């Protein structure tokens, strides 16, 4: 089990604007260089997650000591062309009913992270709900909005 002090996860609205990419990069760099974060967890459900993965791939080249994982809510089917190497399917999620898998995965990321980088512009929706849960768990929240 990883020490959560070295771990960051991400939550954001699925329609997050691309102009926040420099902010994503800047905050990830700060966490690596000033806070000692070495592990990053991100989902795969929207544009925010896609942007984060793109930045993490770039940062991995600059900071080879870091690891990042796309944390899956569902096990890929055989016929899906999902070729991302850095995936993680959390132990225990296989017994969760499908309609609860995203929530379960997001809670798992909160439990296993100290930092949360998010893009939340409104208080409704899943991303806002999980950032609020992270706040209640006293995680360090960095909102890019």
Residue 94, domain CATH = 3.40.50.450
Q: Which domain holds residue 28?
A: 4-120+135-143
More confident residue, 125 or 66: 66
| DSSP symbols for 14-59 | TT--GGGHHHHHHHHHHHHHHH---EEEE--SSHHHHHHHHHHHHH
Q: Which of 26, 23, 4, 1 is nearest to 12 (CA)?
A: 23
In a domain, 125, yes or no: no
| Contacts of 122 by beta carbon, 8 Å cutoff, 6+ apart | 13, 128
Say how far residue 92 (Cα) sits from the centre of its chain: 18
In a domain, 130, yes or no: no
pLDDT at 123: 83
Of 74-88, 89-103, 118-132, the one with minimum mean pLDDT is 74-88
In a domain, 45, yes or no: yes
Q: Which two three-digit tokens encode residue 65?
A: 């000591």
Convert the pLDDT of each residue in 95-116 to its tens digit.
999 999 999 999 999 999 999 9
Convert the pLDDT of each residue in 10-36 to its tens digit.
999 888 999 999 999 999 999 999 999
In a domain, 128, yes or no: no
Confidence of residue 80 (pLDDT cuts 50, 70, 90): low
> How many domains does the chain contain in total?
1
d(CA 52, CA 97): 27
- For residues 109-126, average pLDDT: 92
| Average pLDDT, rounded, for the chain | 91
In a domain, 126, yes or no: no
In a domain, 44, yes or no: yes
In a domain, 103, yes or no: yes
> Is it the case that residue 88 has pLDDT exceeding 60?
yes
Confidence of residue 46 (pLDDT cuts 50, 70, 90): confident
- For residues 129-133, average pLDDT: 93
In a domain, 61, yes or no: yes
């Amino acid at each position: 089990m990883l020490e959560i002090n070295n771990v960051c996860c991400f939550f954001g609205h699925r329609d997050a604007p691309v102009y926040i990419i420099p902010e994503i990069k800047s905050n990830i760099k700060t966490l690596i260089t000033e806070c000692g974060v070495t592990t990053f967890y991100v989902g795969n459900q929207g544009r925010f997650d896609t942007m984060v993965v793109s930045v993490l791939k770039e940062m991995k080249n600059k900071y080879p000591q870091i690891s990042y994982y796309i944390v899956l809510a569902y096990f890929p089917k055989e016929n899906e062309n999902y070729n991302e190497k850095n995936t993680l399917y959390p132990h225990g999620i296989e017994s969760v009913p499908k309609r609860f898998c995203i929530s379960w995965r997001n809670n798992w990321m909160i439990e296993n992270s100290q930092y949360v980088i998010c893009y939340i512009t409104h208080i409704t929706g899943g991303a806002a709900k999980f950032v609020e849960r992270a706040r209640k768990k006293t995680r360090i929240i960095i909102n890019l909005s």
